[in-house]
């Protein structure tokens, strides 16, 4: 995510840049996955990508959850 952010020119107004929309959209989606807005979606994605981790779901501390909510 940080690499994407660095690739966006700071001279572009955020309201006019497709790149800014892409970066902010991904940040919002990541926040939703971490805070489990779409119940179970992150677990489903992890299990689909890594079948051997079925049942071993990621857990986040309160500090990460607070940052994700701020996204």
30-48 pLDDT per residue, tens: 999 999 888 889 999 989 9
- CA separation for the pair 59, 65 (Å, rounded): 10
Which band of pLDDT confidence, cut at 50, 70 and 90, is reported for residue 4? low
- CA separation for the pair 34, 66 (Å, rounded): 10
């Amino acid at each position: 995510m940080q690499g994407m952010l660095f690739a966006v020119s700071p001279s572009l107004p955020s309201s006019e840049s497709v790149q800014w929309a892409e970066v902010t959209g991904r940040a919002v989606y990541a926040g939703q996955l971490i805070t489990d807005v779409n119940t179970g979606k992150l677990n489903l994605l992890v299990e689909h990508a890594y079948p051997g981790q079925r049942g071993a779901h990621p857990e986040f501390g309160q500090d990460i959850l607070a940052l994700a909510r701020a996204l």
